[in-house]
Amino acid sequence: MSTRLIYLLLFVAPQVLLYLYLRARLPDPSRPRRARIVRVALALVFGLFNLPWVLVAQRALFGSMWSVGRLPLTGPWIAWQLWGWIFCALVAVYLLGKGAWWLAGRVRGARYAVAADANRQLSRRRFLARAAYSYAGAGVALSSYGISSAYHLPRLTRRTLRFSDLPAGLEGLTLLHLSDLHAGVHLGEDKMQEIVAQANALRPDLIVQTGDMIDISPSYIPAYVRAFRDLQAPFGVVTVLGNHDRYTGESEVIRGCRDAGQVFVQNGCHVIERGGATLALLGIDDPHNWTADDPQTGDLDAALTAAPPGAFRVLLAHRPGAWDSAAPRGIPLTLAGHIHGGQVYLPLIGWSAGRLITKYVMGHFQRGASQLYVSRGIGVVGVPIRVFAPPEIELFELRRG
């Protein structure tokens, strides 16, 4: 209880400090009426966007944090916290720089008069106000984009994957990859039906799912079954387990997927025959640990023993770290998800929040003859926001070459 309270206070503290700092700095004392309006506006804005802390604190101190994502307006609240922390960090850097400049002046014997010039003070105040308003405007625009992006239908990524050893019978096979649906509070049955219609319209030969179909509660499974029962492909739908499926209830999720007409593979192999060629879909379970980039050597070896000799092998894994075992074993293709592209991606520096979890955040990777594709996924975890990491489904065409 005391540890949770300390963490809670640490998370709330930047908002309090930022509010007090802006309240002291933004209002112009030479314009009392306008200064009062600025103070009232600041209090209203900070009060409104921090109101969910009342409910979050209740869950953090006396319940489970898993339910935080079900709170109303979670996206705007998290976005506000994120931009608040960043702005607070920028203010801290500014104050540290100002302190360092003052200290350097003292060391040189210079006199540093902070309040020497009233006009300079007002100019600095106006600069801070404009910077704060510009930052807030940019934050609102970016957060609105991120929240809107999270609720959009997934973007389609089309890619031709070439393999030197692809059997002639698998030439031109189209494979649709779905990952991280997270059916739940942020993705209901109507949206699932739209995604199924989007997938069926692509007319793939084969559909695979790499885990996290359900988000935490078994109550979302019936809606998933009703929607995904209509998902169709000539060679069927093949699915593996994700970590959120475990949290939901492993047996319940597997039963739901099978009720929807899917083939569920657990550390085993599902074989498809096409044009005299054999495709071995190796499926491994999500590991029972939080090890970053777990290679899952034991799970993969168990799946390989079930694969027929000479088959073209494709590994389906929820976590992309399994590729570290798949590539040395000569598996041509691994499909994974799990990270959602980090949900927040900074394109100018090429950094994603997912880098805190894995080196395989999203997209295509190649090591020798082995390829990996990590999907950005369809749904979200907890917070309905995706900044420059939009939801995605992928249609691959297998070619020899």
55-100 per-position pLDDT tens digit: 777 766 666 555 555 555 566 677 777 777 777 777 777 778 878 8
Q: Identify the band that residue 116 occupies on the pLDDT scale cut at 50, 70 and 90.
A: very low
Name the more confident of 29 and 136. 29
pLDDT at 113: 46
Q: Identify the band that residue 46 occupies on the pLDDT scale cut at 50, 70 and 90.
A: confident
Backbone dihedral angles phi then psi of residue 316, each to the nearest 5 degrees = -110, 115
Name the nearest CA neighbour of 342 among 350, 334, 330, 331. Answer: 350
49 near 14, Cβ under 8 Å? no
d(CA 211, CA 193): 18
Residues of the chain with pLDDT > 70: what percent?
A: 86
282 near 315, Cβ under 8 Å? yes
Maximum mean pLDDT: which of 23-37, 106-120, 152-166: 152-166
pLDDT at 114: 45
Name the nearest CA neighbour of 236 among 211, 214, 258. Answer: 258
Q: Pull the structure tokens for residue 253.
A: 């999720």
Tell me how far CA of residue 214 lies from CA of 105, 121, 164, 220, in angstroms. 60, 56, 37, 7
Q: How many CA atoms lie within 13 A of 99 on its CB side?
A: 6
Q: Pull the structure tokens for residue 299.
A: 């799970």
pLDDT at 64: 59
Question: Who's near 309: CB < 8 A, 6+ residues apart?
Answer: none
Cross-strand partners of 205: none
> What's the distance, CA 172 to chain centroid?
31
Looking at 100-104, 245-249, 264-268, which range is the least confident one?
100-104
Average pLDDT of 356-364? Answer: 94
Q: Pull the structure tokens for residue 52.
A: 């969910």
pTM of the model: 0.79
Q: Identify the band that residue 45 occupies on the pLDDT scale cut at 50, 70 and 90.
A: confident
pLDDT at 32: 86
Question: Exposed, middle or buried by CB within 10 Å (0-12, 13-18, 19+), for 1?
Answer: exposed
Q: Pull the structure tokens for residue 297.
A: 């050597």
* pLDDT single digits (tens) 200-252: 999 999 999 999 999 888 999 999 999 999 999 999 999 999 999 999 999 99
pLDDT at 321 over 90: yes
pLDDT at 63: 62
Question: Chain-wide mean pLDDT for the chain?
Answer: 86
Residues of the chain with pLDDT > 90: what percent?
A: 56
Average pLDDT of 115-124? Answer: 52
pLDDT at 276: 96
pLDDT at 270: 98
Q: Identify the band that residue 135 occupies on the pLDDT scale cut at 50, 70 and 90.
A: low
Average pLDDT of 105-122? Answer: 55
pLDDT at 93: 79
